[in-house]
Amino acid sequence: MKVLVADDDLVTRRLLEATLQSWGYDVCAAADGAEALHILEEGLPPDIALLDWMMPERDGLEVCRIICACPQTVPTYVILLTALGGRQNIIQGLQAGADDYITKPFDREELRARLEVGRRIVELQRSLAERVRQLEDALARVKQLQGLVPICSYCKKIRNDRNYWQQLESYLSDHSEAQFSHGICPECYEKFVKPELEKLPGLSDESP
What pLDDT, on the 0 to 100 scale, is given for residue 57? 84
pLDDT tens track, the chain, 208 positions: 999 999 998 999 999 999 999 999 999 999 998 999 889 888 788 999 999 888 888 888 889 888 888 777 678 899 998 877 778 888 888 888 889 988 888 889 999 999 999 999 999 988 888 888 888 777 776 665 555 567 776 676 767 666 666 666 676 666 666 666 667 778 877 887 788 777 777 655 544 4
> Which residues constitute the domain of residue 185?
158-198
Residues 17 and 96 in one domain: yes
Q: Is residue 204 part of a domain?
A: no
Q: Is residue 125 part of a domain?
A: yes
What pLDDT, on the 0 to 100 scale, is given for residue 171? 63
What pLDDT, on the 0 to 100 scale, is given for residue 28? 94
Question: CA 4 to CA 47: how far, in whole Å?
Answer: 8
Residues 170 and 102 in one domain: no
Q: Is residue 42 part of a domain?
A: yes
What pLDDT, on the 0 to 100 scale, is given for residue 131? 85
Q: Is residue 133 part of a domain?
A: yes
Q: Is residue 63 part of a domain?
A: yes
Question: CA 48 to CA 53: how far, in whole Å?
Answer: 15
Number of structural domains (the chain) is 2
Task: Return the CATH number at 79.
Answer: 3.40.50.2300
Around 36, how many Cα atoms within 13 Å sit in the side-chain half-sphere?
A: 34
What pLDDT, on the 0 to 100 scale, is given for residue 178? 62
pTM of the model: 0.62
Contact 177, 171 (CB under 8 A): no
Q: Is residue 15 part of a domain?
A: yes
Residues 132 and 180 in one domain: no
Residues 134 and 163 in one domain: no
Contact 32, 57 (CB under 8 A): yes
Q: Is residue 143 part of a domain?
A: no
What pLDDT, on the 0 to 100 scale, is given for residue 196? 79
Residues 12 and 40 in one domain: yes
Assess whether the previous peptide bond of 105 is cis (omega < 30° from 0).
Answer: yes
Closest CA to 80 of 56, 105, 53: 53
